[in-house]
Amino acid sequence: MKLRILSYNIHKCIGGMDRKYEPTRIAEVIRKLDVDVLMLQEVDAGVSRSKGDRQTEVLGEELGLRYRTWFPNVDVRGGGQYGNAILSRYPIIESTNIDLSVRFKKKRSVLHGVLRVRHDDIDRTVHVFNMHLGLAGYERKLQLKMFLESHPFAHLHHDTPVLVGGDLNDVYGGLGSLLAPSGFRGIDRRPLTFPAWGPMRALDAIFVRGDVDFMRLSRCDSDLARRASDHRPIVADVRLRAHHPHHDAHHKPPSPRP
């Protein structure tokens, strides 16, 4: 079964060049990509610059995605917050937030959504981790280490389908090597995504682990995507394998016998 996954820093639905607040523009970019699971970063709620909108709800209604979860990272001066959101065609049966904040740095986290994907012969629990990492190199490395050691990730079976994505601020493109020892797979040459109007850095990424096969990773190059945010969205096409006994359990595999 194929799934289409999107990661998009929507910049509070404010254009990177014209500075206009237009959530319908972000929604139109996403709609044309026909995705199943959205990982969004910098999503406002109750902030004056975005008319007090709860952007997860606004975009969810625009796109017809009834399953949504959002968690705030940063308090905005004057009221409101922004954070990460997951929207899905498939039920989100559980949602938690994992704090990745480093002392003296801006608050960061990874939003964890547990999806139930049912289609034809597929009936799987899929774990989605949507993260927005820090600006300093040492901070990002520490945050990935915190994530890999965190509950619930550290307790997942190695075959359980896992999707990790987001704005990793991966300036030098080396964070994938930190995830690889834990079984994650990605695309070595990721698309450049920042700044949206003339991308020079591959800050955004999607990785998979377990019973998921990576098929394709692409960047949206529409004219609207150049203007809607300061990042371009990326889309991963993946194939979800059929269920095997115990693969979706929330536990580590047993230790081999001597």
Average pLDDT over residues 195-224: 97
Average pLDDT over residues 184-202: 95
Burial grade of 22 (CB within 10 A; 0-12, 13-18, 19 or more) = middle
Q: Which structure tokens are listed for 26?
A: 């972000």
Q: How confident is the model at residue 188 (pLDDT cuts 50, 70, 90)?
A: confident
Q: What is the residue-averaged pLDDT of the chain?
A: 93
- Does residue 256 have a pLDDT over 60? no
The CATH number assigned to the domain with range 2-240 reads: 3.60.10.10
pLDDT tens digits, 11-57 = 999 999 999 999 999 999 999 999 999 999 999 999 999 999 999 99
Q: Are strands 109-119 and 122-132 parallel, antiparallel or unpaired?
A: antiparallel
Task: Output the CA torsion 54→60→61→66 (10° steps).
Answer: -120
Name the one residue in this structure whose structure tokens are 């406002």. 44
Q: Cα–Cα distance between 37 and 25 in angstroms, integer?
A: 19
DSSP 182: G
CB 223 within 8 A of CB 100: no
Give phi and psi for 154, each to the nearest 5. Answer: -65, -15
Task: Output the CA torsion 26→31→37→38 (10° steps).
Answer: 0
Strand, coil or helix: what is 185? strand
